[in-house]
Structure 1
């Protein structure tokens, strides 16, 4: 596969800075996601450097939560199964972060940014996973349990609320498998991605 020239990468980054980013075309392949959006690779590495959360874990969680839709909203609630009645929660954006958790993130890091900004959202997921490891002892590499704690909240995870939700356990297994797939893919294309990074900064 041909590598993108440095000028093409530069134009891609400029375009990303000026508009809402469309979801990746190939969401099942982390290499193709980062090829399409090189800036996301930079943001993922920055997140890992700051919080130690592997990109494949954070990206698998994000894929499950929003399918990489910047302004994703939770499903609508219905009154009597017919009348629209708001949303089931106040989750929003790439990470589907709720306002209280986002507020904690801003206080903890000193800069929260926006929930519909990829760089801020991937940092949020990395930050949350790091906090989960610190508070609950769940490895940042353990996508299965990290996702359960992310979905239920750390308190809910500690109480075992997920045990009464077989559907959620299945989703967590899906996230776990996606993380493993992403990790294997990333190992295959890391050299290419790093080469593209050097080309961009040289340009």
Structure 2
């Protein structure tokens, strides 16, 4: 009984943790370490029709799953800090203006960018909107990431054509999404049982 209690306590502590996943290359490991993340991602899937592996791959690229991730500092004359290069923040690296649009459109005024549940829902919303605005498939991680980075207007103008580095990054996101998808198929049934069922299985 003592071992069960310790295991239960450990699971509760892990689920509340904001530490980045120990093995971010494996989506099963990510969700096993942060059990509540899987259910938040599943909720976003059901709400926005977005496959879990796409926003998770994009989030890894944007913040490495760090809840308080920020862009690098900008410097005047190369050494005087004048602020961040953008207002992006949190798991999703959402910019302030876009986050405010999300809160207004979804009536989620209490959403926080450093909260995983809100961040994954935001990304589901953005991917859903990219499909509506630019006809980009929700399953197309490559072009969804380009929408995410350039904005819907920039994607429509194909601004990414001038950024070979960005297209290379989008290919990485797409490759990771495909890998995540294959991995998730092997563990999703187990994850769906929840930590309580798996604890006693």
1:65 to 62, 67, 73: 62
How many equivalent pairs are there?
Answer: 196
CA 1:178–1:87 in 2, change beyond 3 Å: closer, same or farther?
Answer: same
Equivalent residue number for residue 130 of structure 1: 128
Pair 1:79 & 2:76 matched:
yes
Provide Cα deviations, 1:130-179, integer angstroms capped at 9, x if missing partner.
00001110001000000000000000111111110100000000000010
Query: Which residue is 1:26 aligned to?
Result: 23
Native 8 Å contact 1:48 1:55 kept in 2: yes
Asked whether the 8 Å contact 1:54–1:140 carries over to 2, the reply is: yes
Deviations 1:77-104 (A, max 9, x none): 1112222221100000000001111111
The equivalent residue for 1:121 is: 119
Q: Does structure 2 conserve the Cα–Cα contact (< 8 Å) formed by 1:148 and 1:162? A: yes
| TM-score of the aligned structures, taking structure 1 as reference length | 0.90
Per-residue deviation, residues 9-60 of structure 1 (Å, max 9, x unmatched): 675345544xx51000000000000010110000000000100111100100
2:144 counterpart of 1:174:
no
Instruction: Kindly indicate whether the alpha-carbon contact (under 8 Å) linking 2:15 and 2:35 is maintained by their aligned counterparts in 1.
Output: no
> Separation in 1 of the partners of 2:192 and 2:87?
37
In structure 1, runs of 5+ residues without a counterpart are none
For 2:80 and 2:165, the matched residues in 1 are separated by: 26
Task: Return 5+ residue gaps in structure 2 as ranges.
Answer: none
Counterpart pick for 1:38 among 35, 38, 46: 35
Question: In 2, distance between residues paired with 1:121 and 1:168?
Answer: 22
Tell me, what secondary structure is at the counterpart of 2:193? Answer: helix
